[in-house]
Structure 1
Amino acid sequence: MTQTNLCFIGAGFHATTNIYPSAVEAGATIQAISTRSIERSKAALLRYGSTGSAYDNATLMLQNEDCNNVVVVAQPQDQTSLTMECIKAGKNVYVDKPLGWTAREAAEIADAAEKAGVVLMVGFMKRYAPVYMKLKELIDGRSMGRTRSFQMKFAVDSTPFCKNEEQFMKLAAIHMVDLMRFLFGEVQHVTGTTVKDGEHINQSISLKFNNGIVGSAYFAGMSAWSRESESVLVTFDHGFASADEMNTLTIHHSRTSDSLPWKALEEQDTVYTPSNSPMSGAYRDLYLRGFVGEMAHFISCCHNNSLPHSSGKDNVGTMALCDAILSSLV
């Protein structure tokens, strides 16, 4: 494997819990870290066994370090400016969502990356989660016929970090919005209903896609959901598939028989799950949630100068759909 050095901007809870260990697991070496605190940067380097350089100034890191690839996992309000600075410095960039608060902002950054000739990837890890990758294969392969419809659920306690519906959509539910586009394509029409009580949010959304697929999504941001939950149920011509909690995919093939199906053992399900093993340590979750997969994809795109699946340009479509859903809510 070709050696890949990464410079990091940001070392908060999400970055150190998910992104740093996934990057190392994907084969990267941490060359430098910049945060607002030199002590925090040094602590992060020590935590991951790196002998790299610590900074409290991202601009200085970009100037000093001979490193072409930068990972930006900072506060949402800072990510746009930091990403633009990396692009202007000629760096390939992985940036956590959201990149740009609107579709227009997202387009400006994507255009800048394209003109600079650098790789720009946005952190939508669900595209790289094994359960959704297998579901995507099923949809594209059409072994069960055409995809007809879907039901999606996402519920989380977003009250600590989302104070209104726009923040909830663009900081939490955005992953599921992007997953819709990844699985089913572009949306033609969207309508929605919302009930908001303080920071508690409940949304019911109906969508029609350009390819004729219809779907519904239930999004909830409430303290009731301290146990985060998500699922996607897809109906095909000849059966259905259910992805539950990112660790189980159940595929049901409809059966045809001369006799009524309840008279014999005609029904059949195929269930995919990961192995349970103490040998997985802490890495099982990082693989199943897609974090290792997205870091490996970013590294590969940097080596090959290829367009990521969740590119800056593709991100424009996700931000536009977020805006369209928000505009439709009544």
Structure 2
Amino acid sequence: MNTTKLCFIGAGFHAATNIYPAAVEAKAEIQAVATRSLERSAAALQRFGSSGRPYEDYTAMLENEDCDGVVVVAQPGDQPCLVLDCLRAGKNVYVDKPLGWNAAEALGLAEAAEQAGVVLMVGFMKRYAPVYMKLKQLIDQESLGAARSFQVKFAVDSTPFCKDEEQFIKLAAIHMVDLIRYLFGEVIQVSGMSGSSGEYISMSLSMKCAGGVVGSIYFSGMSAWSRESESVLVTFDEGFAAADEMNRLTIHRSYAGSTLPWQSLAEEDTILTSSASAMSGGLRDLYLRGFVGEMEHFMDCCRKGQAPLSSGRDNVQTMELCGRILSALGPDREEAARFSS
């Protein structure tokens, strides 16, 4: 297999902690790096074992480098312009979420990618996390019957980087918002209640999806949750499945014996989990959270010229749902959620 050559724009904390290592683990070749500092670009190349070329001007990199794709991991407000320049240069692009601050901006970038005939992928890594891929398989194959309902919990200390509900939904909880669409299809009804105060986020949501699945969502962004926590529970016709903290999936099939279920040890739970070992060298988290999987998917799409699972076009629907959630939380959020005007 030929090596996939990637150029990078940005080398901040998230990029250096998750995206660069995941690309290396996915067997990408880091061909060039562009940041605002030539020294910082060179340091990033050295850190990840690349003999590629450093840049302090990303436009020069786009002009000079013949690569398979460009990875953009920058500040959310900067990413639309960076991505648009990449698309105009005819480059395939992976960009960290969110792409565009609303559905209208996201749509413009999706259309630009389609007009350029290039790949545009948005970094919703939970779609590529093993626990959620297995859960998606259970839903699609209906091995436990049809999915009927779900409960989602996501709690994190978002106070350092989210100062209101709009920032929380679009910078933190957006991964779970996108995951709901991925697992259950498009959402047709949203209602919600908020107990938030400034940067201290507390909200409860209810949703109904086009296929009839209904669900409840608990979001919390407070310093109380310095230990980030997430879970997804799905009830099917013939059992349930519970994804817990991204490293454990419990699958329960309803008892179908001839005697009462409490009369014997007849009920069965299947537990799927990842081993914890010092031998992972810290890579376990990159795999379980989906970072390696999304890099592998992007590279495969670049080679084949096919639309990614989390494409720019698909991203429009996620940004639209973010806006609908904000609107559902109350009239005072309507201005923040006015994404289609």
The alignment partner of 1:252 has SS state of strand
1:19-74 deviations in whole A, cap 9, x for unaligned?
Answer: 00100110101110011111111110110011111111111111111224100000
* Alpha-carbon distance between aligned partners in 2 of 1:215 and 1:139, rounded to the nearest angstrom: 14
Task: Letter of the 1:122 partner, please give it.
Answer: V
* Alpha-carbon distance between aligned partners in 2 of 1:254 and 1:41, rounded to the nearest angstrom: 55
* Alpha-carbon distance between aligned partners in 2 of 1:118 and 1:137, rounded to the nearest angstrom: 29
1:93–1:119 CA contact under 8 A, matched in 2: yes
Is the counterpart of residue 307 in structure 1 residue 307 in structure 2?
yes
Task: Letter of the 1:269 partner, please give it.
Answer: D
Match of 2:31 in 1: 31
Shift, 1:259, TM fit = 2.0
Match of 1:273 in 2: 273
- Within 5 Å, which residues of 2 pair with 1:281-320? 281-320=281-320
Match of 1:22 in 2: 22
* Alpha-carbon distance between aligned partners in 2 of 1:288 and 1:128, rounded to the nearest angstrom: 9
1:197-239 deviations in whole A, cap 9, x for unaligned?
Answer: 2310001000001100000100100000000000000000000
1:68–1:90 CA contact under 8 A, matched in 2: no
1:282-327 deviations in whole A, cap 9, x for unaligned?
Answer: 1111000000000000000000001100000000010000000000
Match of 1:137 in 2: 137
- Within 5 Å, which residues of 2 pair with 1:100-249? 100-249=100-249
* Alpha-carbon distance between aligned partners in 2 of 1:15 and 1:183, rounded to the nearest angstrom: 27
2:252–2:269 CA contact under 8 A, matched in 1: yes
The alignment partner of 1:11 has SS state of coil
Shift, 1:258, TM fit = 2.6
* Alpha-carbon distance between aligned partners in 1 of 2:133 and 2:68, rounded to the nearest angstrom: 29
The alignment partner of 2:302 has SS state of helix
More deviation, 270-279/213-222: 270-279
1:181-201 deviations in whole A, cap 9, x for unaligned?
Answer: 000000110001111123100
The alignment partner of 1:258 has SS state of coil
Task: Letter of the 2:11 partner, please give it.
Answer: A
More deviation, 16-25/259-268: 259-268
2:68–2:303 CA contact under 8 A, matched in 1: no
* Alpha-carbon distance between aligned partners in 2 of 1:165 and 1:307, rounded to the nearest angstrom: 31
- Could you tell me the percent identity over the aligned residues? 68
* Alpha-carbon distance between aligned partners in 2 of 1:4 and 1:254, rounded to the nearest angstrom: 46
More deviation, 35-44/153-162: 35-44
Q: Which 5+ residue runs of structure 1 have no aligned equivalent?
A: none
Shift, 1:256, TM fit = 2.2
* Alpha-carbon distance between aligned partners in 2 of 1:97 and 1:198, rounded to the nearest angstrom: 23
**Between Structure 1 and Structure 2, how many residues are aligned?**
330
- Within 5 Å, which residues of 2 pair with 1:37-52? 37-52=37-52
Task: Letter of the 1:184 partner, please give it.
Answer: F
Shift, 1:251, TM fit = 0.3
TM-score, structure 2 normalization? 0.96
Is the counterpart of residue 86 in structure 1 residue 86 in structure 2?
yes
* Alpha-carbon distance between aligned partners in 1 of 2:65 and 2:187, rounded to the nearest angstrom: 42
* Alpha-carbon distance between aligned partners in 1 of 2:319 and 2:35, rounded to the nearest angstrom: 27
Task: Letter of the 2:35 partner, please give it.
Answer: T
* Alpha-carbon distance between aligned partners in 2 of 1:69 and 1:144, rounded to the nearest angstrom: 40
* Alpha-carbon distance between aligned partners in 2 of 1:138 and 1:181, rounded to the nearest angstrom: 15
CA-atom RMSD in angstroms: 0.7
TM-score, structure 1 normalization? 0.99
1:155–1:225 CA contact under 8 A, matched in 2: yes
The alignment partner of 1:40 has SS state of helix
2:119–2:308 CA contact under 8 A, matched in 1: yes
